[in-house]
Amino acid sequence: MSLREKAAITGVGETTYLRGTDRTPLSFQLEASLNAIRDAGLKPTDIDGLIPYGHGAVAEDFITNFGIPDLRFSATTPMGGASCVAAIQAAMAAIAAGICKHVLISLGRTGYSGGRIGTRVQQMPQFRTIGEFEMPLGAIAPAQLYAPMARRHMEIYGTTSRQLAEVAVSTRYHASLQTNATMRTPFGIDDHQASRMISDPLRLLDCSLESDGGAAVVVSAPDVARDLAKRPILVMGVAEGHPDSPSAITQRPDLTTLGLAKAAPKAFAMAGVDRSAIDVAEVYDCFTYIVMCQLEDLGFCKKGEGGGFVENGALRLGGKMPVNTHGGLLSQAHMAGMNHIVELTRQLRGEAQAQVQDAEVGLVTGYGDMGDGAVAIMRRA
């Protein structure tokens, strides 16, 4: 059985994104969830499946707060920034099996006001190996763990920091067109080059934000999706992929290939479309390099050609492949990629603030935990 079009995104919701709050991740997660459920035209009690993100909330919180009478499915997909897109696959499998009809995928976090990333990763079980063997050497935060991937790409393929800057510049431009983005002042390649070095070759403007807020989506069975408030966005293809040596980038045979390289061919085959069909792409952007690498792993260009692919504003609205039209993790807010699913849905509905004209088919990726990947290809019904 294929999961092709066995579910649709029927509701999306966000909170206001912030840098500074005294609220809890749970409170953000519940607010975003209520917004997504309302957007779909559903009641909270209609939700019969849950995939909450991370440690901010558990299924029990939703049953308690929403009065859900008959929760039939709950799961988590612990893949860091790939969790949200991987959750779409899990939700579809549950829906296609007839277990449930409306799965809520939700996220809330206080990345700005709570513990910062360098502290958070020390507590994650998937970072246990790194914690013993690399953190004592001073390799602690994702910027430091990922930088050698970018450096290797630069040394082998001639990729430049100015090419990485293209990703940051186009993403910020898209954020400048949004009402709900935390960083909206546009900048140019030279501004990127002047930003301070964090872990060479990654500069400050290569790095994503720390943010407070929440985002959520509702995934529904196609037969019930048709009768809801908004035009359903059908999931044509979905897959997750795990890299070789998932616990330690250091030991990965090819530092420049991510788990997404295994997922992408499966998702495109399931969807039955080629890369040329993609009108808009929301690509997980914890760092500029990770966007470029994923564009290669997705098959938009060959391995090593990502630097040339992103040049000359190719990723801007109106460019050859508009990417991260909401401003992404780099400039809108770090919502671990849930905001990317929200944005793709809005693009395909035709209700985005930086709308790609006549966007019919698009894709969204997740990336996390040192190389896990997930991708979903969607179309408007």
Partner 1 sequence: MEYDKLVPSPTPDTQPYWTGLQENKLCLQACADCGKVRHYPRPVCDACYSMNAKWIDASGRGTVHSWTITHYAFHPGFKGDLPYILVTVDLAEGVRMNAQVRGIATDDLRVGLPVQVGFDKATDDLTLPVFEKA
Residues that bind partner 1 (CB under 8 A): 117-118, 122, 129, 131-141, 143-144, 147-149, 151-152, 155-156, 196-202, 247-248, 250-251, 255
Distance between CA atoms of residues 172 and 315, nearest Å: 11
Q: How far is the CB of 161 from partner 1 (least distance, A)?
A: 13
Q: Is 233 helix (H, G, I), strand (E, B) or coil?
A: strand
In this structure, the number of other CB atoms found within 10 A of the CB of residue 245 comes to: 16
Contact 332, 284 (CB under 8 A): no
Beta carbon nearer to partner 1, 100 or 293: 293
Beta carbon nearer to partner 1, 11 or 259: 259
Beta carbon nearer to partner 1, 251 or 357: 251
Q: How far is the CB of 81 from partner 1 (least distance, A)?
A: 18
Distance between CA atoms of residues 154 and 48, nearest Å: 47
Beta carbon nearer to partner 1, 232 or 243: 243
Q: How far is the CB of 258 from partner 1 (least distance, A)?
A: 15
Q: How far is the CB of 118 from partner 1 (least distance, A)?
A: 4
Q: How far is the CB of 290 from partner 1 (least distance, A)?
A: 15
Beta carbon nearer to partner 1, 91 or 329: 329
Burial (0-12, 13-18, 19+ Cβ within 10 Å), 192? buried
Pairing of strands 361-368, 372-380: antiparallel
Beta carbon nearer to partner 1, 245 or 353: 245
Q: How far is the CB of 47 from partner 1 (least distance, A)?
A: 38
Smallest CA-to-CA distance from 106 within 131, 128, 88 is with 88
Give exposure, 208-244, as e/b (b: 16+ Cβ within 10 Å).
Answer: bbbbbbbbbbbbbbbebbeebebbbbbbbbbbbbbbe
